[in-house]
Chains A and B, each alone.
Chain A
Amino acid sequence: MTEKRAFQKVYTRLTRITKATCSVRASGIGYDELALVDGRLAQVVKIIGDEVTLQIFSGTEGVPTNAELVFLGMAPALKVSEELAGRFLNAYGEPIDGGPALTGKEIEIGGPSVNPVRRMQPSQLIATGIAGIDLNNTLVTGQKIPFFADPDQPFNQVMATVALRAQADKIILGGMGLSHDDYLYYRNVFENAGALERIIAFINTTENPPVERLLVPDMVLTAAEFFAVEKNEKVLVLLTDMTLFADALSIVSNRMDQIPSKDNMPGSLYSDLARIYEKAVQFPDGGSITIIAVTTLSGGDITHAIPDNTGYITEGQLFLRRDSDIGKVIVDPFRSLSRLKQLVIGKQTREDHSQVMNSAIRLYADAANAKTKHENGFDLTEYDERTLKFARDYSEKLLAIDINIGIDEMLDTGWKLFDRYFSPEEVGMKEELVKKYWPGQSGKQ
């Protein structure tokens, strides 16, 4: 994409240069069109009369007024074909794996949206083996959901695990501001799992200019749409880290002197993020795009504009939290939510799923109350003590992210824990379920 084309006109007089942009007098230029300025990729962001203003992705440092400028005649695009499978590419869709250049149909990225009446309601469960997800926050194909995690949490590991267990036809990774080590981590994990031929990755590392990241999600989703629409495949998209993507948006808007709204983010942050996440879809012909993203938080603050806008767009969120009682990272059952779970719970899973899930969370909440009570210096009742013991076991056997069991086993574990610490009346579930599943219940009668 970035090669010059012979017949194109070369401009050599920039009329204006700012921190992020340069301007040139030119006519017949299309909005959003790409150009090369002094060998750097740039995109048209404003045209007034014959003055065309371009944003240079890698910044304008050192760009002279007599830099060579060539328009490329199109918006950013990706060559799509089956050959994408197994490839590692940069934000421009160029190979970084030493392999051959891409071939195939060139498609402009950031394409149109799906007509809502052509969508199907998501209905296929995605099993991950992690009970904090499958039991409490079941994922569904066509869903979009982020991990909300502080930067020191192992979200990349969890994402890689989820991706490999998810039984997707393709896994497309969009790495934005990924550390080089994490990039290599993903590569190794996928390689060791023998999954490389199902993987496509678009990688922008911390070593690349931040603004280039802005292309990554659209590249990823263009590839995803190709496999989901043309090949009817189940595509799983991983975006990490969307906070760094949003930071790049704010860099651009600040450099272009736009009026910032909350937390220095551009006023269009909601639309910018929604455009990406809304690409998650279930198609009628079986193809689907599921998006699992990471939004890193700063100090757990979810009211910051980035997680806040994300929460308004995605279908729930998964919170990772370190549980100091068991010394492990867990999926926090209180603040996590999969909004599509009711589409599969009890339908594709056992009838007792919803009750086991709710009862366990309620007892866990009782334990949290008991803990607060204790911390405030009040005496604990005998019931309080039992909830605390239950909470520890629940956390260890079900919430921890290192769990890998089937959903029936998760449910059975739930019943065993209820039985260990409580009486059926205390758990308060439907009678018929207690009769059927409470350990030893049938034996007692």
Chain B
Amino acid sequence: MLTKGKVSGIISNLVIVDADGPVAQNEICRIEHEGTKLMAEVIKLNRNQAFVQVFESTRGLRVGSDVEFTGHMLEATLGPGILSRNYDGLQNDLDRLEGIFLKKGEYNFPLDEEQAWEFKPLAEAGETVEAGSWLGEVIENWIPHKIMVPFKFSGSFTIKWIAEQSSHRVHDVIAVLTDSRGEEHQITMVQKWPVKLAVKAYKAKTRPFKIMETGIRVIDTLNPIAEGGTGFIPGPFGCGKTVLQHALSRQADADMVVIAACGERANEVVEIFTDFPKLIDARTGRKLIERTTIIANTSNMPVAAREASVYTAMTIAEYYRAMGLKILLLADSTSRWAQALREMSNRMEELPGPDAFPMDLPAIISNYYSRAGFVELNNGKTGSITFIGTVSPAGGNLKEPVTESTKKAARCFYALSQQRADSKRYPAIDPIDSYSKYFEYEEVKDYMARNISPDWVDQVVRARDTLLRGREAQEQINILGDDGVPLEYHVRYWKSEVIDFIILQQDAFDKVDRTSPIARQKYMLGKVLEIADREMKFKNFDEVASWFKRLINSLRQMNYSKYESGEFYNHLKEVDQMLIEIAEL
């Protein structure tokens, strides 16, 4: 018998329910309201009173309304047909909700229940299996989608029966398993998993060792993210967090991209809806939308579901990772999720931590980031979730609880600088403050040495030093004036400008420049370092500036030209010609 209850208090979307039986923390309940049922989650229990956060507006709700508890936590529905879908934070399929406006209390099943999938068995009767074992596969878009033993199953099972290659709908039974006590379990192509718990159906989590190519120079070259790694992008409003995440979602070398639009603008999600069905993924030649799933809980959608949205996204990523895939998970913005936690914690009159955020915010954030990672599955195959979140610090000040907590949890730090954004130096990732801890991993260094070039790490370090020295020179020039410093300072400054303009800056809206494969990045880094290493003689600082401006202009044209095209080489010739001229002076 499931527990029932009645509403006894309402404070905005915090509702107090008097329950007539046992209730679990985080259990989901449904509140009767004007012929619909509002979904809510238990967030605190006190004797027979359950404090629940309603995922909807509670306008018009009355004390005394009936409540039924469901006996389970908030769960994601996992099965073929998640790719290319647009879900809300509770995994409702937005395209199948009627009408222009979202209606209260309307929920739907996240998968297409009628669609037929060609099931191909990957295991045989008699085999021993456990949670996460691959029983079979169906082709979803182009990804071999594994049908697995449900993650909730514990212990080992024997396959009693498994379907032959044949067409099935998601609810059809495709296998029967026997547990150690001889009890039989029917397996369909759908399973459920509570979103707040990490899926652990793998053998081991290993240290990331390879880099995930993103096509963004300032990331790949200077602050690479590892496959299975974590990173975050803090930045004041308008500095380019979303543009950067969209670029990652388009270009990153991943099998699947899950985007959680968490408490941000609806128009930005519409941009993805509009562009992704048209854009082609250069790696596979398929439409981007085919590898993408969007969880949209925009800022005007119910606040409580914001928290759910990031967990739903993570659970979907974990499900696909268990198929041996390379997943990129993006969340924009994790600050909105933290704010949703704050609103609720204040409503419950909990003792507030810094800036009125809940005391356990650091733990919640670190818990979430720890679900990403590179895993070895039980069958020896590997899968990964690379997670990159944005943070929107209040007042642009990085000393605030969400940024500080995230800094402890994430291994790459891509700090967007207001100053760079103001001078339109996009992407505005600060080259000096930002870091990637993976750059220090021996495994990653090894990988780069083998896959990019043996002296790659050296080169990157030299590029960084050039930037640093350029910044110092610039400071001196600003203090002492153009004439007050040796000419060499100007040259140093302009050499760092070459790296800034040619490696750091990248036009996210230019068809060619927006993405740069690693081979091209390697070439361009080599070129700018060749320039940085040159001895140069100039008559005066005016000449330094105008020579470098011309040089940068030609190098930029290279960035804007198709790699290794005639145009590209023409501009290269201009550059080389200039370098010869300067050597002859």
Contact = CB atoms under 8 A, between A and B. Distances in A.
Contact of B266 (A27, A46, A116, A312): A116
B148 interface: no
B11 interface: yes
Interface in B200-251: 236-238
B352 interface: yes
A32 B59 contact: yes
Interface stretch (B73-81, B295-303, B379-387, B451-459): B295-303
A278 B299 contact: yes
A316 B63 contact: no
A49 B352 CA distance: 26
A117 B273 contact: yes
B442 interface: no
8 contacts: A30-B59, A31-B60, A112-B101, A113-B101, A117-B86, A275-B300, A278-B298, A358-B424
A143 B145 CA distance: 40
A48 interface: yes
Contacts of B339: 267-268, 270-271
Interface in B151-174: none
B100 A312 contact: no
Contacts of B95: 117
Interface string B44-78: 00000000000001111111100000000000000
Contacts of B8: 48-49
A27 B299 contact: no
B531 to A, nearest CB: 19
B267 A308 contact: no
Interface in A30-52: 30-33, 45-50
Contacts of B63: 27-29, 47, 49-50
Interface string A360-395: 010001000000010010110100000000000000
B143 interface: no
B102 interface: yes
Contacts of A445: none
Interface residues of A, number: 71
A407 to B, nearest CB: 20
Nearest to A301: B395
Contacts of A304: 395
A115 B102 contact: yes
Interface in B86-102: 86, 94-95, 97, 99-102
Contact of B301 (A27, A113, A261, A317): A113
A48 B238 contact: no
B416 to A, nearest CB: 13
Given A116-B266, A270-B299, A303-B397, A31 B101 contact: no
B88 to A, nearest CB: 8
B351 to A, nearest CB: 10
A316 B301 CA distance: 21
A313 B9 contact: no
Given A30-B61, A46-B9, A278-B300, 6 more contacts: A117-B95, A119-B266, A258-B346, A271-B263, A271-B299, A271-B343
A112 B102 contact: yes
A215 B63 CA distance: 25
A50 B9 CA distance: 9
Contacts of A305: 394-395
B336 interface: yes
A229 interface: yes
Given A275-B300, A308-B237, A283 B267 contact: no
B60 A112 contact: no
Nearest to A362: B424
Given A270-B299, A303-B396, A308-B237, A114 B100 contact: yes
Given A114-B100, A303-B395, A365-B423, A278 B266 contact: yes
A116 B9 contact: no
Given A116-B266, A259-B346, A271-B343, A47 B238 contact: no
B537 interface: no
Nearest to A284: B100
B551 to A, nearest CB: 13
A114 B237 contact: no
A114 B102 contact: yes
A406 interface: no
Contacts of B553: 428
Contacts of B101: 111-115
Interface of A: 27-33, 45-50, 75, 108, 110-122, 142, 229, 258-262, 267-268, 270-271, 274-275, 278-279, 281, 283, 303-305, 308-309, 311-313, 315-317, 334-335, 337, 339-340, 342, 358, 361, 365, 373, 376, 378-379, 381, 428
The SS class assigned to the A binding surface is loop
B267 A315 contact: yes
Nearest to A278: B300
Given A112-B102, A365-B423, A262 B9 contact: no
A30 B395 CA distance: 38
Contacts of B301: 113
B356 A260 contact: yes
B94 A268 contact: no
A309 B356 CA distance: 16
Nearest to A287: B100
Nearest to A305: B394
B527 interface: no
Considering residues B10, B273, B482, B553, which has the most beta carbons from chain A within 10 angstroms of its beta carbon? B10
Interface in B329-374: 336, 339-340, 342-343, 346, 352, 355-356
A31 B97 contact: no
Contact of B267 (A32, A121, A261, A365): A121
Contacts of A110: 59
A174 to B, nearest CB: 17
B422 interface: yes
B133 interface: no
B265 interface: yes
B355 A261 contact: yes
A331 to B, nearest CB: 16
A274 B263 contact: yes
A383 to B, nearest CB: 8
A342 to B, nearest CB: 6
B237 A311 contact: yes
A311 B264 CA distance: 12
A428 to B, nearest CB: 6
Contacts of B97: 115
B421 to A, nearest CB: 9
A32 B11 CA distance: 10
Contacts of B102: 112-115
Nearest to A261: B356
B285 interface: no
A229 B542 contact: no
A371 to B, nearest CB: 14
A122 B267 contact: yes
